[in-house]
Structures are given as structure tokens and as C-alpha cells.
């Protein structure tokens, strides 16, 4: 449901400057693709905090609070250790910090695979406790029944095919998928199954480009590429990767800034001024009147 927001910024730096905006809706995202063509590609980035959401919101159609926060925020070895409570806490922060983009929250590993009923219980908690618009889950045809079950009950679902990080142990790593004919056919058929089940969008991750293009043409919903193709209906990156926060990133990442160097440099200058007693100066202290 679209909502117009207005917040008082006088009491907290966490509140953005008041600027009433109408949040995008799932039908709006769906309508980007007309007769198989998306003239205005969909922009999505990850967000895990309120402040990050504030900075990204005006530029994105979708903000994904992804379970990649396990590695990015918590330093975990994979997303498999992420809990539903973690996703809810961060998802709520992203919703509080945004007013324009559709906020999608990942369902973490183990919270939806057992049955459609389990998925609904988890998704209902996420929507109710975060205020987000949609959930994302991984898996293709095997999850189609669950996607249909959720969408028929008012839960918008974003699918995820190709390289699915929650299945890293089964896949044997994070290598590109779709190199064999059998796997390529499965990726396309998985996308079609999710589309027919009612997914409003599908992330296509880490697949060889012709397969991403074929899958995009085969479905009526929008596809969001990551390590896929610029012919997908939209793109997503982990924001911290795009900003250069990490030394090691997947080959499909383009770094638009080197924020890690900026932060390290600022910390170094601060440390030097503290050690030489140059900080705080008169401007940063309270003097007798």
C-alpha cells in the first residue's frame, strides 16, 4: 500500500529531512515490463540500516535487505547463519529510513523451505514487524508451490534463481551457473515456474549471459540481474561492494567509489590529531562565557 510520510527531524539525526513522497508499489514495478520490454530498467541496491536506506532511497526503485548482511555486517562466513530476528531488525530499520523505494526483505535459510505454511508464518512476521512490502526467497520450481501459496494470501514474493547463496554447500561454491546444457535449461524453467506461480520479480544471479537473457525473455515479470546481463529488466549489487568497502568482491561488481580508503584515511587523520592534542580544538569545546 502506498503511503505518504512526514517526520519531525528536530529530535533525532536518524530522521531524514521531511519530504513527503509516495512509495512505489508492486503493481508499479510489474508495469515496468510491457510486452516483454522494460524501457525503464529497475534499480535495486542492498540496504541494512536506516541511514544507508536514507542515502539510497531517492535513487532506487527497490531496496533489498538481503541476508548478505550476515557477511557484510556481522562478518559471518556465509548467509546460512542469518536468523529471522536479524532480518526483521534490519528490515525495520531500512523501512524507517526510506519513503520511495519498495523494500524487500530476504527470508533466511531454514525459515521457509519446509512447507508453504512455514513460509507464510515467516513472511507474515517479516511484513508485520518491519513494514516492508515484499519478501524474497531462493529456489526455482521446487519453491513454486510456496510462491503461489504466499501470493494468493497477499504476500508479494521476489524469486531468486541461478547462483543461490543459501545452497552454496550443494552447489559447491560461488561459481557461475548455467554452463552445462542441463543446468541452463533448469535455470530458465525455474524462472518460468516462479513467474507462473506469481512472483512479481526474479533475481537472476551468477549465470552465463545468454541464459540470463533467455530467462528474461521467457517470463512476464521483471528480472533483476546480478552477475547476469544488462539485458535483464533491472540490476542489483551489494551496496558495500559497489562502494569499495571490501578488497575482495565478485568479478561482476563494478566499484563506483573507494569508500574504504576514505574511511581509513579519515580515521588516520583523527588518530594523528588526538595523539598530537590538535583535536579537540576551541571550535569543538565549550568555553566559559
CA 255 from chain centre, in angstroms, equals 17
Write down the catalytic residue from 129, 181, 205, 283.
Answer: 205
Is residue 138 a known part of a binding site?
yes
Structural contact between residues 182 and 194, judged by C-beta atoms closer than 8 angstroms: no
The HSE-up count of residue 18 (CA atoms within 13 Å, CB side) is: 6
The reply to whether 145 belongs to the active site is: no
| Ramachandran quadrant class, 172 (left: phi over 0; alpha: psi -120 to 50; beta: rest) | left
Is residue 241 a known part of a binding site?
no
Structural contact between residues 77 and 71, judged by C-beta atoms closer than 8 angstroms: yes
Dihedral sign computed on CA atoms, order 86, 28, 53, 15? negative
Is residue 217 a known part of a binding site?
no
Is residue 61 a known part of a binding site?
no
Structural contact between residues 66 and 24, judged by C-beta atoms closer than 8 angstroms: no
Residues belonging to the active site: 205
Q: Can you say which residues are annotated as belonging to the binding site for 3-methyl-2-oxobutanoate?
A: 67-68, 106, 136
Q: Can you say which residues are annotated as belonging to the binding site for Mg(2+)?
A: 67, 106, 138
Q: Can you say which residues are annotated as belonging to the binding site?
A: 67-68, 106, 136, 138
Amino acid at each position: 500500500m502506498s503511503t505518504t510520510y512526514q517526520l519531525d527531524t528536530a529530535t533525532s539525526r536518524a530522521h531524514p529531512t521531511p519530504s513527503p513522497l509516495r512509495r512505489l508499489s508492486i503493481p508499479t514495478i510489474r508495469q515496468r515490463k510491457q510486452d516483454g520490454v522494460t524501457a525503464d530498467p529497475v534499480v535495486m541496491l542492498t540496504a541494512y540500516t536506516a541511514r544507508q536506506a536514507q542515502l539510497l532511497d531517492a535513487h532506487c526503485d527497490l531496496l533489498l535487505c538481503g541476508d548478505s548482511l550476515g557477511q557484510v555486517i556481522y562478518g559471518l562466513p556465509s548467509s546460512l547463519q542469518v536468523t529471522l530476528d536479524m532480518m526483521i531488525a534490519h528490515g525495520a530499520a531500512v523501512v524507517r529510513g526510506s519513503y520511495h523505494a519498495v523494500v524487500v526483505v530476504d527470508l533466511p535459510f531454514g525459515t521457509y523451505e519446509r512447507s508453504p505454511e512455514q513460509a507464510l508464518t515467516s513472511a507474515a512476521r517479516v511484513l508485520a514487524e518491519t513494514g516492508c512490502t515484499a519478501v524474497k526467497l531462493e529456489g526455482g520450481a521446487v519453491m513454486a508451490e510456496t510462491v503461489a501459496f504466499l501470493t494468493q494470501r497477499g504476500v508479494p514474493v521476489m524469486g531468486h534463481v541461478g547462483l543461490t547463496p543459501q545452497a552454496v554447500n550443494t552447489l559447491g561454491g560461488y561459481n557461475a551457473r548455467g554452463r552445462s546444457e542441463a543446468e541452463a535449461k533448469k535455470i530458465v524453467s525455474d524462472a518460468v515456474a516462479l513467474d507462473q506461480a506469481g512472483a512479481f520479480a526474479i533475481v537472476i544471479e551468477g549465470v552465463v549471459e545468454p541464459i540470463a537473457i533467455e530467462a528474461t525473455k521467457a517470463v512476464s515479470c521483471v528480472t533483476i540481474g546480478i552477475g547476469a546481463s544488462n539485458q535483464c529488466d533491472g540490476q542489483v549489487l551489494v551496496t558495500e561492494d559497489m562502494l569499495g568497502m571490501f578488497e575482495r568482491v565478485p568479478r561482476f561488481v563494478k566499484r563506483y567509489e573507494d569508500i574504504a580508503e576514505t574511511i581509513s584515511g579519515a580515521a588516520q587523520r583523527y588518530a594523528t590529531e588526538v595523539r598530537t592534542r590538535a583535536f579537540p580544538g576551541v571550535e569543538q569545546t565549550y568555553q566559559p562565557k
